[in-house]
Amino acid sequence: MAIISKKLVPDVALIDPVITTTMNSNMTVYTGFDILSHSIEAYVSNASSPITDVHSIEAIKLFSSNILPCIKDPKNPKFRGNLMLASLHAGLVFSNASLGLVNAMAHSLGGLMDLPHGGCNALLLEHVVNFNYSSDPARYLKISQCIEVVDSTDKYGLINAISQLKIKTGVTQTLKEIGVRENDIPQLAQKTMNDPCTITNPVIPKKSDVEEIFKNAL
């Protein structure tokens, strides 16, 4: 269950990349994909705006150019700082434009399997992009250009770029391999439909659509 309240918003947030240098590689990758999913989903959200778009694009660029170098050199303050800045940009956008199906599905998946949220996002991201792409190809093309895919002319270029980033960062498991069973999918889909992030997905899904996306990720 997602808990949303203005009472949870802090008066002050200290953005310090130094404290992230003690994170292990897996947590760096998972939080990195959280940045990417927040940025992409806010950019294509039906509540996006020209103001949030600026931050979304910058977050995607910073993530894609710094995640691999950061994994190779985890103590490097430049790479850590750029990822922290990307996280800040992404936080600004999803706080104002909300998110979509990736995060809605990841909320239910993480709750069921007790998994890191960013890891759940990574497992689902390209499958949701595949579902949403036709709603606004121009926006997804812009995302493709920001993460420097080789073939950015169609959705498969973007999907392949996300898949390659996952492979290069060690995110190779499927939902089945982490313990999700096909008979878990109906309850996962129902919780997703009740999640507030679903409302701002660029395509308002039916429960059967969500079930199909989960099945594709098995």
Residue 150 has pLDDT above 70, yes or no: no
Residue 192: closest CA among 131, 143, 135: 131
Question: DSSP labels for 154-202?
Answer: SHHHHHHHHHHHHHHTT----TGGGT--GGGHHHHHHHHHTSGGGGGSS
Q: What is the percent of the chain with per-residue pLDDT over 70, rounded to a whole number?
A: 97
Domains and CATH numbers, the chain: 24-216 (1.20.1090.10)
Report residue 38 CA to chain centroid gap: 5
pLDDT at 196: 93
Q: What is the percent of the chain with per-residue pLDDT over 90, rounded to a whole number?
A: 90
- The mean predicted confidence, pLDDT, of the chain is 94
pLDDT-based confidence at residue 155 (cuts at 50, 70, 90): confident
If 0-12 CB within 10 Å is exposed, 13-18 middle and 19+ buried, where does residue 12 land? exposed
pTM to 2 decimals?
0.94
pLDDT-based confidence at residue 151 (cuts at 50, 70, 90): low
The pLDDT tens digits for 106-135 are 999 999 999 999 999 999 999 999 999 999
CA angle centred on 25, ends 32 and 169, rounded to 5°:
60
The pLDDT tens digits for 22-79 are 999 999 999 999 999 999 999 999 999 999 999 999 999 999 999 999 999 999 999 9
pLDDT at 154: 81
As a whole number of Å, the CA-based R_g of the chain is 16
The pLDDT tens digits for 165-176 are 999 999 999 999
